[in-house]
Amino acid sequence: MKILRFALIGLIFALSSCENSANQNGYLLKSLGNINTLQVIIENDLWNGEVGEEIRSYFAAPVDGLPQDEPLFSMNQMPPSTYTDFARKYRTFLHVSIGDSTGVAIKTNPYAKPQTGAFIVGKDAEDIKRLLEKNYQQIITAFKASEIKEKQRRIKISLKKTDSLKKHFGVSLRVPSAYRTALANEDFIWYRKALKSGETNIIVYEVPLGLIRSDSTSVADIIKIRDSIGGDYMPVEEGGRFITEAAYAPYIFKTNIDGHFAYETKGIWEVKTQFMGGPFINYAVRDSVNNRYLIIEGFVYAPATGKRDLQFELEAILRSLKFE
C-alpha cells in the first residue's frame, strides 16, 4: 500500500511538473468562462471606491435594445493576490492597478487560449479613472469581438443544414442544429428554436437597394420594411400584427458583415392584441452586385427571462453571414 501511495504521489508530481514546464515553454491552457462574464482584477479598496463605480458604469451599462436593463457584462471581482494559476484561465479580464507608470494595453492570449485581457495601470485613482474614460470603448469592442468569436466557435460544433439560404439568397449562415425551419421559400426564410419559456427566431429576406435611402432616413426605412414584410409573413391571431414597438426608439449603428456595409438596428417588437413582445436585432446588408439589401434579423420571445445572452447568440449567428 505504501508503494502504491508513493507511486500516486509521484505521478501527480510528474503531471504538475509537466504542466508547469509546458507553461514555461509557451503552452497555453484552454480558457474557460461563461459568455459575457468579465473578471475584474483590482484591489478591494479601489473596487469599492470611485474607480469601481467608474468600471461598473461602463462595463455593466445596460445593453442597447432590451426591454429591461441587463448589464453588458456580468462581472466578478478579485484582488491581484488571488489572480494566479486556475484564476488566470478566464477568457476575458480587466486588470487594473496602481503603479509608477501609466498606460493601457489590450493583449490576446496572455495566460490562456482563447483569451482577451485589458491591463490598465495608473499612478493613482484619478489617473485610472481618466484612462478608463478614454479607453473603455476600445476595450469593450475587443471584449465583444472575442465573445462573438467564442460563441460562433461553440455554435459551429453542431450546425443545421441551411441549403435553402444558398439556393434562394446566395448566402450561408452558421445556425445551430437546435433551430428548425418554420418557412423556406424564394422570398422568406424563417428558423425558430424552442426555449423552456418562449423561443428565438431568425428571418431572412431581401429588398431592392433603393428602399433604404440616406442616413437621415435609414432607420425609418428599415422599420417600415420590417413592419411590412415581417408583419405579412409572421403568423399571429386575427387582428394582431408583428410590428416594431413605437414607444421604444430603435438604436441604429453602421457596421460591416463579410466585407459588406450594413445597418445594425436594435429595438423592441410587439403583437399588441396578444400582449407579446421582445427584443430584435436587424442587419440590412448592402449587396450592390445584386442591387439589394439582404435583411437578416433575430428576435426573442422569452417572458420573465433574461434576454441578453439569447440576443447575443442571435447576433453571433447573424454575424456569421457569408456571401457565396
Q: Classify residue 235 by burial, with Cβ atoms within 10 Å: 0-12, 13-18, 19+.
A: exposed
Average pLDDT over residues 258-273: 94
Task: Tell me which H or E stretch contains 156.
Answer: helix 125-156
Q: What is the mean predicted confidence (pLDDT) over 276-289?
A: 96
pLDDT in the model for residue 273: 79
pLDDT over 70 at 6, yes or no: no
Residue 312 CB-half CA count within 13 A: 23
Strands (E), 139-231: 171-172, 180-184, 189-195, 198-208
**Would you mind telling me the total number of residues written for the chain in this entry?**
324
**Coil, strand or helix at 261:** strand
Report the pLDDT averaged over residues 163-169.
96
> What's the CA angle centered on 322, arms 317 and 324, to 5 degrees?
145
Q: Is the pLDDT of residue 11 over 50?
A: no
First to last CA, the chain: 65
Q: Is 162 exposed, middle or buried (0-12, 13-18, 19+ CB in 10 A)?
A: buried
Q: Which residues are CB-neighbours of 309 under 8 A, at least 6 positions away?
A: 35, 36
What residue type is 95 in one-letter code?
H
Percent of the chain surpassing pLDDT 70: 91
Lowest mean pLDDT among 16-30, 52-66, 132-146, 275-289: 16-30
C-alpha torsion 181→184→190→196, nearest 10: -20
Specify the pLDDT at position 5.
42
Q: Which domains does the chain have, with CATH numbers?
A: 28-155 (3.30.379), 158-323 (3.40.1000.10)
The three grid cell numbers given for residue 151, joined into one nine-digit string: 460563441
Query: So what's the pLDDT on residue 26?
Result: 63
Which amino acid type is present at position 219?
A: V
| Element housing 16 (H / E) | helix 2-24
Cell numbers that stand for 264 in this block: 445594425
Cell of residue 170, nine digits: 446566395
Task: Give the pLDDT confidence score for residue 20 in this predicted structure.
Answer: 38
Residue 12 confidence (pLDDT): 31
Residue 185 neighbours by CB distance under 10 Å: 11
Distance CA 240, CA 295 (A): 23
> How confident is residue 28, by pLDDT bands cut at 50, 70 and 90?
confident
The verdict on pTM exceeding 0.85 is: yes
Q: What is the mean pLDDT of residues 158-170?
A: 96
Answer whether 221's CB lies under 8 Å from 210's CB. Answer: no
Q: What is the pLDDT of residues 217-230, one digit of tens each?
A: 999 999 999 999 98
pLDDT digits (tens, 9 = 90+) for 83-94: 998 999 999 999
How much is the average pLDDT of 189-214? 95
pLDDT surpassing 80 at residue 18: no
pLDDT for 77 equals 98
User: Is residue 205 over pLDDT 60?
Assistant: yes
In this structure, of 10-19, 49-58, 214-223, 295-304, the range with the lowest mean pLDDT score is 10-19
- d(Cα 12, Cα 98) in Å, to the nearest integer? 38
Output the pLDDT for position 239: 65
pLDDT at 15: 31
Query: What average pLDDT does range 199-207 have in this prediction?
Result: 97
User: Is residue 10 predicted with pLDDT exceeding 50?
Assistant: no
**pLDDT at residue 261 greater than cutoff 90:** yes
For cell 479580464, the residue is 93
